[in-house]
Structure 1
Amino acid sequence: MKKNTGILLIGVIGLAILIWLGSTFYYAYKPKPQILQGQIGAREYSVSSKLAGRIDEVFVKKGDKVKKGELIYTIKSPEIEAKLAQAQAGYEAAKAISDETHKGAREETIISARDLYRSAKAMADLAEKTYQRIQELYDGGVASLQKRDEAFAAYKSAKYNENTAYQQYKIAMDGARAETKKALTEKQKAAAGQVSEVKAYAQDIQAYSPIDGEVSNVLLYKGELSPSGFPVVLVIDMKEAYLKLSIPESYLEDFEEGKIFQAYIPALKKDIDFKVNYVSVMGDFATWKATSSTKGYDMRSFEIEAKPVQEIKGLRVGMSVLVRLH
C-alpha cells in the first residue's frame, strides 16, 4: 500500500514537472504581440500680426485658457501712426482741391474776368468805329494808306483781346473741364483708399485669439521686436486632438481610413477608441527587420493619424499611446 502511494506521488510530481516545462517552453516560444507607441498631438494656431513693431504688452502666459476673439498681445508702432497722419493729410489736400474744382471759381474771380471782358469789348468797339472813320477818310482821299492800315491793325488787335478776355470769362463761369473734375475725384478716392489701408494695418496693433484653446507657448515678450507675421503666441485646440502613429505595412489593412481601433493611454490608465482619418501616401523604411532571415525582408512603415471617437477628459499633447498589434 505504501509502495503504491509512493509511486503515485512520484507520478504526480513528474506530471507537474512536465506541465511546468511545457508551459515554460510554450510561453517562451509563443509569438509575442507587437506594441507600437504613438503620441497625442493637436492642431496649433499662431497668433501673429501683419504689422512689424515692438511688443507693447502680452496678456497671456503658458497654460492659460483663452476664448476666441480674446486680446492676446499689442504692438507699439510709431511708424504706422506717422503713416496714418501722412495719409490723412494727403486725403484732406486732395479733397480740398477736388471740392474747389467742382464748386468752380470764386465770385470775385468771375466778376474780375467779366469786367476785363467788358473793357476789352469796349476797346474793340472803339477801334472798329475808328477804323471805319479812317476808311471813309481814306476813300475821300483825305487820310493816307498808312493811317488806314494802322487803324485796321489796332482794330484787329482789339478784337483779339476781346476774344481772349471772353474765353477767360467763360472759363471762370464754367469752371474746370469734366476730365479735370473726374481726375481730381479719382485722386481723392485714391487718397481715401490709402487712409483705409493704413487704418487696416493700424488695427493689427492688437492681436486676438482665433479659437477657444490653450496657450502652448509665448515666443516674444514686452519690448522685443516682432517681425511681420511672426508667431508671437501659439494656441492649441484640444478639441482637434489626434494620435500620430507609425504602422508596419504588414498591418496596414487593419488601419485603413475610417477604421476604429483601441489604444491604451498610460497617463490616463484607460483604453480609448480611435478612428483613422489619415494614412500617409508614401511609407518610410522601418528601422527593424523580421527575426527570421529566411522569411524576413525590410519593411516600410506608414504614418497614420486617428482622432478619439469621444472627447477625452484630461488628454494632453505629448501623452504616449500604446497600440497592441495581434
Structure 2
Amino acid sequence: MNRKVLIPVLAVILISIGSFAYWHHDKAVIPVALTVYGNVDIRQVELAFNGSERIDKMLVQEGSQVKKGQLLATLNTTRLQQNFNLREAQVAQAQQALLKLETGSRPEEIRKAQADAAAAKTDADNAQRTYQRQLELVKQDFVARQDVDNAKSAANAAQAKFNSLHETVRLAMLGPRQEDIAVAKATLQANEASLAIARKDLADAALYSPSDGTIQNRILEVGDMASHRRNVLFIPWHLRIPSG
C-alpha cells in the first residue's frame, strides 16, 4: 500500500479508538437522575396531655429539633402523686386484711380467748352462787329484797359475758367465713383498679414526642391549664410519597 495513503488510515483508526474509549469513560461517571412522580405530604401532629392539670415545665422551644420519645413537657404532679400514694396505701391495707382472713386465728389468739372464757366462767359461777345464797337469806329476812335483785342482775351479767367469750373461742377455732374472704378479695381488686388508674394519671402528666421532627408552634405555656381538649404543641413530622 502507498505510504501516503496508509498514514491517514491509521490516524482515522486511532481517532476512532480514542473516541470510543472516551465515550465509555464518560458514560460510567455521568450520574443518572431518578424521577419519581407523586405528591409529597407533610403531616403535622397536634400534641395534648391526656390529663387535666396545670403545666409545670415546657422543655422545648419553637424551632427545636426533637427525637421520638423525647420528653417535651410535664404537668404539676402534686395532686396526682398524693392520689397515687393514697391508692397504694389502700391496696396495702386490703392485702393485709385479706391475708389475715386467709391465715385465720393464730394459736396464741385462740389460747387467749380460751383463757378469757374460762375466767368468765368462774366469775359467772361465783355470781350464781352468790345469788343463790342471797335468795336463801331473803327467805329468812336476813337480807333485803334489793340485795337479792342486785345479786341476780350480777349473775345474769356474768353469765352473758361468759357466753360471749365462749362464742369468741368457737369462732376463732372455726376461722373466717368464706363470704368474708370473698368480700376482702373484691375490696382488694377494687383498690388495685383504683391504683392502676392513679398510676396512669401520673404517667399522663408527661408529654413525649411521637416521632422525630421540629416544633412548629408552642401553644400553651407554664402555668396554663392543660387537658385532652387543648393542644400544647404542633410538630410536622411525617413525609409520604404516594405510589402510582
State TM-score, norm by structure 1.
0.46
Q: Tell me which amino acid in the other structure corresponds to 1:225.
A: M
- Of stretches 114-123 and 39-48 in structure 1, the one that deviates more from structure 2 is 114-123
- Of stretches 199-208 and 211-220 in structure 1, the one that deviates more from structure 2 is 211-220
The 3-state SS of whatever aligns with 1:176 is coil
**By how many angstroms is 1:218 displaced?**
1.0
Task: Give distance in 2, aligned partners of 1:190 and 1:52.
Answer: 23
**Aligned residue in 2 for 1:212:** 212
**Aligned residue in 1 for 2:193:** 193
**Aligned residue in 2 for 1:75:** 75
CA 1:229–1:106: 2 relative to 1, 3 Å: farther
Query: Which has a greater percent of strand?
Result: 1
**CA distances 1:190-236 after superposition (whole Å, capped 9, x unpaired):** 21221121011101111101122222211112222212342201111
Query: Which has a greater percent of helix?
Result: 2
Q: Identity of paired residues, percent?
A: 23
Conserved? CA contact 2:120–2:162, under 8 Å: yes
Task: Give distance in 1, aligned partners of 2:209 and 2:121.
Answer: 76
Asked whether 1:50 is paired with 2:44, we answer: no
Task: Give distance in 1, aligned partners of 2:123 and 2:177.
Answer: 30
**CA distances 1:280-314 after superposition (whole Å, capped 9, x unpaired):** xxxxxxxxxxxxxxxxxxxxxxxxxxx5669xxxx
Asked whether 1:84 is paired with 2:76, we answer: no
Task: Give distance in 1, aligned partners of 2:119 and 2:55.
Answer: 70
CA 1:76–1:160: 2 relative to 1, 3 Å: closer
Conserved? CA contact 1:66–1:214, under 8 Å: yes
**Aligned residue in 1 for 2:236:** 236
Asked whether 1:105 is paired with 2:105, we answer: yes
CA 1:205–1:109: 2 relative to 1, 3 Å: same
Conserved? CA contact 2:217–2:233, under 8 Å: yes
Task: Give distance in 1, aligned partners of 2:160 and 2:86.
Answer: 47
CA 1:308–1:109: 2 relative to 1, 3 Å: closer
Aligned length: 174
**By how many angstroms is 1:90 displaced?**
1.7
Q: Name structure 1 gaps, 5 residues minimum.
A: 1-38, 125-158, 241-306, 311-326
**Aligned residue in 2 for 1:21:** none
Task: Give distance in 2, aligned partners of 1:71 and 1:80.
Answer: 19
**By how many angstroms is 1:67 displaced?**
1.8
**CA distances 1:115-151 after superposition (whole Å, capped 9, x unpaired):** 3556788999xxxxxxxxxxxxxxxxxxxxxxxxxxx
CA 1:163–1:232: 2 relative to 1, 3 Å: same
**Aligned residue in 2 for 1:168:** 168
Q: Which has the higher contact order (CA 8 A, sep 6+)?
A: 2
Conserved? CA contact 1:80–1:198, under 8 Å: yes
Q: Tell me which amino acid in the other structure corresponds to 1:74.
A: T
**By how many angstroms is 1:100 displaced?**
2.0
Conserved? CA contact 1:51–1:229, under 8 Å: no
Task: Give distance in 2, aligned partners of 1:215 and 1:209.
Answer: 10
CA 1:162–1:83: 2 relative to 1, 3 Å: closer
Conserved? CA contact 2:48–2:227, under 8 Å: no
Conserved? CA contact 1:69–1:211, under 8 Å: yes
Q: Name structure 2 gaps, 5 residues minimum.
A: 1-38, 125-158
CA 1:65–1:174: 2 relative to 1, 3 Å: same
Task: Give distance in 2, aligned partners of 1:162 and 1:220.
Answer: 71
Task: Give distance in 2, aligned partners of 1:123 and 1:231.
Answer: 76
**Aligned residue in 2 for 1:224:** 224
Conserved? CA contact 1:97–1:184, under 8 Å: yes
Asked whether 1:95 is paired with 2:95, we answer: yes
Conserved? CA contact 1:68–1:209, under 8 Å: yes
CA 1:214–1:108: 2 relative to 1, 3 Å: same
**CA distances 1:9-60 after superposition (whole Å, capped 9, x unpaired):** xxxxxxxxxxxxxxxxxxxxxxxxxxxxxx9752221222111122222222
Task: Give distance in 2, aligned partners of 1:232 and 1:66.
Answer: 15
Q: Tell me which amino acid in the other structure corresponds to 2:54.
A: R
